[in-house]
Structures are given as C-alpha cells and as structure tokens.
C-alpha cells in the first residue's frame, strides 16, 4: 500500500520546519488500514514498530495540572470548561514549590518527562512568565519538559523555548469536519496555527486526539491523516479514549469498542512510524489485556502516575506489575 515518499531536497529557506500539511496519506488509505483483518493490521503495525523502535521499551510521562478549571472554552468533553456543571472547581495557579515537589516525585518514580497543563484558551503574558519559571525548574531536575497551555500568540513559543521547553502538547483532538460538533469557541485551523508557531520556535510537537466522542470511523481516519500529514508529523502522538465527564455534553456518549480503539492506535503507528504513540486518557478503565493489545498495535508511551489532569489514571504499582508481566522496559 502506501510507501512514505522521501522528501526531496529543497532550497534552504523552505527547509525550516513548518506544519504545512503534505499529502503523504489519504483518508481512503487510512480507512483501508482500519478495514484490514485484525491480525493483518496487528502484524503490519508490529513490523513498522520494530523497524523504528525496540518493541519492548516504553516511555513514561507524568502530568500535573498547574492551573485547573474555569476555562472560557466550550470543548464538549472537558471537565474544566467553566460553562459546564462538573465536579471540577476553578483553582489558582499552583505555586512553584509544589510544582517542583511533584516533578521530583515523578522523577523518583521513574518518569522521563514532566508535562504541565493549564485550563486556558491561551496564556496571558504574565501567566507565561510563571510557567517559564516552572519549566526552568523542572528542566533543572533533569526531566524533559512539556506544557499544554492552549493557543499561543506571536512570541510566546520563543519565550517557552528560551525557558528550556522540549515539547508543546496541543491536540488536533478530532477531524476538522467533526470539530465544530464538539468545540465552537475556537477552530481546528487555530490549532494548526499554534502547532506552526511551536515548530518555528524549535520545540518538539506533541499532538493527537480523542477517540469515542461519537465520531465516525471516517472521522477517526481523517484525524490520523491530519496528524500524519503535518510536515513533519508530531514527535509524540497522544491517543486519548474519551473519559466521560458528568455535566459535559459528551457525558453520555456510548463508549467505543475496544478493538476499534486498538485499530486507531495501529493506524497512528503505521502512518507515523517514527513518532512515539501515547496510550493516554482512558487507560484506567481498560483491562490489562486491552492495554497489551494497544502496545502490540504500536503504542510505546503512557501517562504515568495516579492522576491525569482532573481524572484518574492507573496507580504506578499497577503499571509496574503490567510491565513486568509483559517484559516491557521503561526508558
């Protein structure tokens, strides 16, 4: 089927990283991956995975919400949107010493990356200065740094880079054509713009999406294409299974079939062969066996620690026991 074309040499000024999409994959090709017999799809995903990674290694990132709740946006899945009546209350930004203590604890538990999240449409300049201090401190502990702060304005990505930021997480979340059914306060194109600013500043991109929001298989395939055709694709691709939050518009969406979720992981692995694919939100609700199928399909990263931003994640002990059973080695 699809061989990824080599990118031909281009004039110097065009070689700067951008996220301008290239036509590497089509939706029809990714739908065809989804339609493969399950065993064939797993085999193909494992082949691609083993060509690019040690299939027995797994990367671990720990998350901390440094500014929780009260968000102006209307993302239909989110506990932190001010407009929905959820159990999550608006909180002030965490003080630096609490962030440092959490990062040190994550490092002691074995995480290699520390990701700090804020419930903002985008950061104000005074907020960014505080987050930059957090990045400097976490980097100083010897951890890779990641933040997810919403949409960035001109100059903000450069400030984050200067503070020592390694990765910026900003998910496309869902297919451009489904986006307006879940979020109306900003656009899919705004997300792509921010990813461009992150790239231009020389920060690595972490971008993925949420599966199980009532989207069709075609929407899922289109999301994968939109991620895979970014030039270059994100270094890190979180695939979240919707965690239904009471009080949000998506509270009662029917859960996605586990095999369909695994197929999505495989499609991400095959189309983005050198990216880390992270089995992200929704892991707490999964059996060990379903998680193992996700790893077989090419997921090689997880969020590690008993909390995501506002919802639960498996205890570190459960993850360690699972890694032990599967012979997975953390990196």
Q: Which stretch binds ligand SF4 (CB under 6 A): 5-13, 73-81, 91-99, 263-271?
A: 73-81
Closest contact distance (angstroms) between CB of 151 and ligand SAM is 8
Active-site pick, 115, 199, 263, 283: 115
| Interaction of residue 265 with ligand SF4, rule CB under 6 A | no
Q: Which stretch binds ligand DTB (CB under 6 A): 31-39, 101-109, 286-294, 305-313?
A: 305-313
Handedness of CA 242, 244, 248, 252 (dihedral sign): positive
Tell me, what DSSP letter sits at residue 151?
-
Total Cβ atoms within 10 A of residue 246? 11
Q: Is 278 annotated as a binding residue?
A: yes
Total Cβ atoms within 10 A of residue 37? 8
Q: The tokens of 127 are what?
A: 């907020």
Active-site pick, 206, 263, 269, 294: 206
| Interaction of residue 148 with ligand DTB, rule CB under 6 A | yes
Active site residue 75: yes
| Interaction of residue 309 with ligand DTB, rule CB under 6 A | yes
C-beta closer to ligand SAM: residue 169 or 328: 169
Active-site pick, 146, 263, 269, 294: 146
| Interaction of residue 149 with ligand SF4, rule CB under 6 A | no
C-beta closer to ligand DTB: residue 36 or 116: 116
- Separation CA 299–CA 60 (nearest Å): 12
Active site residue 294: no
| Interaction of residue 238 with ligand DTB, rule CB under 6 A | yes
Q: The tokens of 244 are what?
A: 């239904």
User: How big is the CA angle at 147 (ends 143 and 148), to the nearest 5 degrees?
Assistant: 155
Q: The tokens of 65 are what?
A: 């919400």
C-beta closer to ligand SF4: residue 78 or 299: 78
Q: Which residue among 76, 208, 234, 249 contacts ligand DTB (CB under 6 A)?
A: 208
- The partner residues of 206 in beta bridges, in order of sequence, read 169, 236
| Interaction of residue 80 with ligand SF4, rule CB under 6 A | yes
By CB neighbour count within 10 A (0-12 exposed, 13-18 middle, 19+ buried), where does 269 fall?
Answer: buried
Helices (H), the chain: 27-35, 38-52, 96-109, 125-140, 156-163, 176-182, 188-200, 217-228, 258-271, 288-296, 316-326
By CB neighbour count within 10 A (0-12 exposed, 13-18 middle, 19+ buried), where does 25 fall?
Answer: buried
Active site residue 71: yes
Q: Which residue among 71, 137, 203, 270 contacts ligand SF4 (CB under 6 A)?
A: 71
- Separation CA 215–CA 178 (nearest Å): 7
Q: The tokens of 188 are what?
A: 């899919």
Name the site residues for ligand SF4 (rule: CB under 6 A): 71, 73, 75, 78, 80-81, 119, 121, 150
User: Which residues of this chain interact with ligand DTB, rule CB under 6 A?
Assistant: 63, 79, 117, 148, 169, 171, 208, 238, 240, 243, 280-281, 308-311
Binding site members for [4Fe-4S] cluster: 71, 75, 78
Active site residues: 71, 75, 78, 115, 146, 206, 278
């Amino acid at each position: 089927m699809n061989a990824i074309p080599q990118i031909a040499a281009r004039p110097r000024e065009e070689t700067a990283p951008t996220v301008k999409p290239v036509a590497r994959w089509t939706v029809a090709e990714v739908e065809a991956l989804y339609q493969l017999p399950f065993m064939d799809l797993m085999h193909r995903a494992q082949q691609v995975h083993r060509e690019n990674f040690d299939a027995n290694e797994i990367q671990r990132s720990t998350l901390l919400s440094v500014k929780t709740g009260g968000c102006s946006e209307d993302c239909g899945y989110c506990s932190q949107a001010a407009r929905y009546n959820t159990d999550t209350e608006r909180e002030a930004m965490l003080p630096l010493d609490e962030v440092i203590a959490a990062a040190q604890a994550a490092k002691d538990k074995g995480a290699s990356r520390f990701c700090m999240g804020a419930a903002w449409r985008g950061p104000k300049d005074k907020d960014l200065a505080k987050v930059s201090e957090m990045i400097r401190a976490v980097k100083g502990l010897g951890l890779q740094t990641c933040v997810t702060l919403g949409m960035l304005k001109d100059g903000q990505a450069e400030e984050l880079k200067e503070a020592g930021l390694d990765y910026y997480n900003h998910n496309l979340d869902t297919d451009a054509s489904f986006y307006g059914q879940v979020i109306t306060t900003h656009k899919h194109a705004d997300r792509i713009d921010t990813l461009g600013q992150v790239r231009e500043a020389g920060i690595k991109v972490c971008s993925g999406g949420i599966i199980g929001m009532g989207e069709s298989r075609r929407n899922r395939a289109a999301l994968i294409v939109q991620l895979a055709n970014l030039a270059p694709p994100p270094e890190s691709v979180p695939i979240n299974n919707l965690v239904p939050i009471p009080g949000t518009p998506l509270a009662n969406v029917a859960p996605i079939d586990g095999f369909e979720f695994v197929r999505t992981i495989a499609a991400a692995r095959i189309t983005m062969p050198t990216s880390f694919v992270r089995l992200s939100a929704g892991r707490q609700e999964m059996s060990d066996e379903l998680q193992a199928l996700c790893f077989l399909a090419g997921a090689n990263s997880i969020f590690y620690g008993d909390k995501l931003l506002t919802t639960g994640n498996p205890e570190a002990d459960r993850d360690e026991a699972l890694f032990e059973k599967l012979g997975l080695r953390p990196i």
